[in-house]
């Protein structure tokens, strides 16, 4: 008895090919599997969903234009819906590191949908009752479908996951800004003591970063809304109906809940990945913002006795296998690692964007993978940061207790006694270990009442003078 897996013979333009008997993909996909045994990386679920939606919309439009038989179109629509819904994900077997146009994955989709559509018509796998090229791929090319799928998948993920994640983080930070509004502390510049701020003001800065991050994401969404569909092989639109792309974009927009529109310049849309590069740049900026926020919170919570200790971070897990009672800032650390990954992904995408030669960019699969990973990671990290760290942050007494000892209170003396005198007071306070107020009482003619007013740290957190 043979243990050899059961196979069937499928044919493409290069001849016969053995494929697993129960596979929906065909000969060309099998060739790609054998040609690219590179990694375990595959196109993620959002990309496969986008491909399915594009094929679905294309079949509907081709039927409406009288270019596709109604029964075949209906069968393709059913199969494409199954692809979009994730029912056939196991059939998408081609490595990310493949042909630079993503043709192998477009072919994979065409073959899977064709064979599954054939089943819906009562035909056997491999029958070609529905043809992957003549029917499923009608009016399309890998060269316009793959960049369109990149944009569509990214738009859906941004809309459904990243924007809600950032909104949740913004709300959590804004809530802490209000809660900490009256907690005065020492500001820091160059890692050295500076004039007082409130903890609420620091968190207002963090909330402001995320708010602007959402604006930057909106820029990315606008860039991604313009898609290449309709350009077919080189941007000229050969072998496609002039109304095809516009109509498919309208149908896919309705199905996906995000808006895509046919580009006004097909030759740029296929020969470059500028839109994806721009979108990734926006994501990189968001990552750098989150990196600053997570690092600040990690430092403000350092200690609890030998660090800054101005924040008490929620204790979510033991921090050491050897040091009893140690608790680490693990949630901010996870955010920091996500940010590093996104910055690295952006470097890969930037390199990929440079690989547009003449009428086609040939780094589409790796750009797609990295762009979608960046969106997914930022979405998950933002929501988790809000839920498992920011929401339960507490202020300690350490920040307020250090203010009176702060040497930069001398800043508010400068308008009263002059910069040089205020500097002398600050240096004497540092040398002697006394407070600015104690030294100023000795070295100036100001009364204690006047110094109390001038050195009020809360007053220093607001604009003054005139």
Res 319: pLDDT? 86
* In contact, 204 and 266? CB cutoff 8 Å: no
95-122: average pLDDT: 98
Res 169: pLDDT? 98
Is domain 144-398 in CATH 1.20.200.10, yes or no? Answer: yes
* In contact, 245 and 229? CB cutoff 8 Å: yes
Give the pair of three-digit tokens for residue 251.
Answer: 């149908």
Catalytic site includes residue 131? no
Res 4: pLDDT? 66
Residues in the chain: 466
Give per-residue pLDDT as tens, 357-410: 999 999 999 999 999 999 999 999 999 999 999 999 999 999 999 998 889 999
Q: Where are the domain boundaries for CATH 1.10.275.10 in the chain?
A: 7-138
Q: How far apart are CA 421 and CA 440, in angstroms?
A: 9
Cross-strand pairs, 11: 16
1 pLDDT more than 60: no
Sign of CA dihedral 160, 166, 171, 172: positive
Mean of pLDDT over the chain: 96
Q: How far apart are CA 47 and CA 373, in angstroms?
A: 11
* In contact, 278 and 219? CB cutoff 8 Å: yes
466 pLDDT more than 50: no
Q: How far apart are CA 103 and CA 326, in angstroms?
A: 52
* Structural Rg of the chain based on CA atoms: 30
In Å, what is the CA distance from 26 to each residue of 151, 276, 428?
27, 31, 83
Res 320: pLDDT? 85
Catalytically annotated residue among 320, 397, 401, 432? 320
Is domain 404-461 in CATH 1.10.40.30, yes or no? Answer: yes
Binned at pLDDT 50, 70 and 90, residue 17 comes out as: very high
CA nearest neighbour of 332 among 374, 382, 286, 285:
382
**DSSP secondary structure letter of residue 15:** E
Q: How far apart are CA 390 and CA 169, in angstroms?
A: 8
Q: Determine which of 56-60, 151-155, 409-413 has the lowest per-residue pLDDT on average.
A: 409-413
Res 3: pLDDT? 64
Q: How far apart are CA 149 and CA 364, in angstroms?
A: 10
Catalytic site includes residue 170? no
Catalytically annotated residue among 135, 142, 151, 190? 190
Give per-residue pLDDT as tens, 282-335: 999 999 999 999 999 999 999 988 999 999 999 999 988 888 889 999 999 999
Q: Where are the domain boundaries for CATH 1.20.200.10 in the chain?
A: 144-398
Phi, psi (degrees; rounded to nearest 5) at 30? -65, -40
Mode of pairing for the β-strands spanning 394-395 and 311-312 = antiparallel
Res 404: pLDDT? 85
Class of the domain covering 7-138: mainly alpha
Q: What is the DSSP string of 178-215?
A: HHTTT-EEEEEETTEEEEEEEHHHHHHHHHHHHHHHHH
Q: How far apart are CA 5 and CA 124, in angstroms?
A: 19
Give per-residue pLDDT as tens, 237-287: 999 999 999 999 999 999 999 999 999 999 999 999 999 999 999 999 999
Query: What is the pTM for the complete model shown?
Result: 0.95
* In contact, 74 and 337? CB cutoff 8 Å: no
Q: How far is CA 327 from the centre of its chain?
A: 29
Give per-residue pLDDT as tens, 182-207: 999 999 999 999 999 999 999 999 99
Q: Where are the domain boundaries for CATH 1.10.40.30 in the chain?
A: 404-461
Taking residue 241's Cβ as centre, other Cβ atoms within 10 Å add up to: 18
Q: Which residue has the tokens 């907690």?
A: 183
Q: What is the DSSP string of 386-431?
A: HHHTGGG-EE-SHHHHHHTT-GGGGGGGHHHH-HHHHHHHHHHHHH
* In contact, 62 and 139? CB cutoff 8 Å: yes
């Amino acid at each position: 008895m043979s243990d050899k897996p059961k196979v069937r013979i499928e044919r493409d333009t290069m001849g016969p090919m053995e494929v697993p008997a129960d596979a929906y993909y065909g000969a060309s996909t099998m060739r790609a599997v054998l040609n690219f045994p590179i990694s375990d990386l595959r196109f993620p679920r959002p990309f496969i969903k986008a491909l399915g939606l594009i094929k679905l919309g294309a079949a509907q439009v081709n039927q409406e234009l009288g270019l596709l038989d109604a029964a075949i179109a209906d069968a393709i629509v059913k199969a494409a819906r199954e692809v979009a819904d994730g029912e056939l994900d196991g059939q998408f077997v081609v490595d990310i590191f493949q042909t630079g146009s993503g043709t192998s994955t477009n072919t994979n989709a065409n073959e899977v949908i064709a064979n599954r559509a054939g089943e819906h018509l009562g035909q056997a796998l491999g029958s070609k009752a529905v043809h992957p090229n003549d029917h499923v791929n009608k009016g399309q090319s890998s060269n316009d479908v793959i960049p369109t799928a990149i944009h569509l998948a990214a738009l859906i993920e941004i809309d459904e996951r990243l924007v809600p994640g950032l909104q949740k983080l913004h709300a959590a930070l804004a809530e802490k800004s209000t809660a900490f509004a009256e907690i005065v502390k020492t500001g820091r510049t160059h890692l050295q003591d500076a004039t007082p701020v409130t903890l609420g003001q620091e968190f207002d800065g963090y909330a402001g970063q995320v708010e602007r991050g959402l604006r930057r994401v909106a820029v990315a969404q606008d860039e991604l809304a313009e898609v290449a569909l309709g350009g077919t092989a080189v941007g000229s639109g050969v072998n496609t109906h002039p109304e095809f792309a516009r109509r498919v974009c309208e149908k896919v927009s309705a199905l996906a809940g995000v808006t895509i529109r046919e580009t006004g310049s097909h030759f740029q849309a296929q020969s470059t990945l500028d839109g994806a590069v721009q979108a990734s740049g926006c994501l990189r900026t968001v990552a750098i913002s989150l990196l600053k926020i997570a690092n600040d919170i990690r430092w403000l919570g350092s200690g609890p006795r030998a660090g800054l200790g101005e924040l008490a971070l929620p204790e979510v897990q033991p921090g050491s296998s050897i040091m009893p009672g140690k608790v680490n800032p693990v949630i901010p650390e996870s955010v920091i690692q996500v940010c590093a990954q996104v910055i690295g992904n952006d470097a890969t995408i930037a390199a990929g964007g440079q690989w547009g030669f003449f009428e086609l960019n040939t780094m589409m699969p790796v750009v797609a993978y990295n762009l979608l990973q960046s969106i997914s990671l930022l979405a998950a990290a933002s929501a988790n940061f809000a839920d498992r760290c920011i929401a339960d942050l507490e202020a300690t007494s350490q920040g307020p207790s250090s203010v009176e000892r702060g040497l930069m209170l001398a800043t508010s003396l400068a308008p009263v006694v002059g910069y040089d005198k205020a500097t002398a007071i600050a240096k004497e306070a540092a040398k002697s270990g006394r407070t600015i107020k104690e030294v100023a009482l000795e070295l100036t003619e100001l009364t204690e009442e006047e110094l109390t007013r001038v050195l009020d740290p809360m007053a220093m957190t607001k604009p003054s003078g005139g």
